[in-house]
Amino acid sequence: MSEKMLVTQALDERDLLVKKIADKIAKATINMLIKLYATMA
């Protein structure tokens, strides 16, 4: 039973990590686009 909990916990942590990374990429992309647009304007 404890092994199953560890696997579930590991998957949950991986999901959180993936979401954090995706958020950082999204924010970086938005900032990049804003800067690009500013230089073009």
Predicted TM-score of the model (pTM): 0.68
Domain of residue 16 covers 1-41
State the Cα–Cα distance between residues 34 and 27, nearest whole angstrom. 11
Residue type, 14: R
User: For residue 17, what are its two tokens?
Assistant: 């990590």
State the Cα–Cα distance between residues 10 and 4, nearest whole angstrom. 10
Q: Over 90: is that where the pLDDT of 3 sits?
A: no
DSSP-H helix ranges across 1-41: 2-40
What is the per-residue pLDDT for 1?
Answer: 66
Q: Tokens 């990374």 appear where?
A: 21
The count of domains in the chain is 1
Q: Over 80: is that where the pLDDT of 19 sits?
A: yes
Q: Over 90: is that where the pLDDT of 10 sits?
A: yes
* Average of per-residue pLDDT across 17-39: 97
* Average of per-residue pLDDT across 18-37: 97
What is the per-residue pLDDT for 41?
Answer: 81
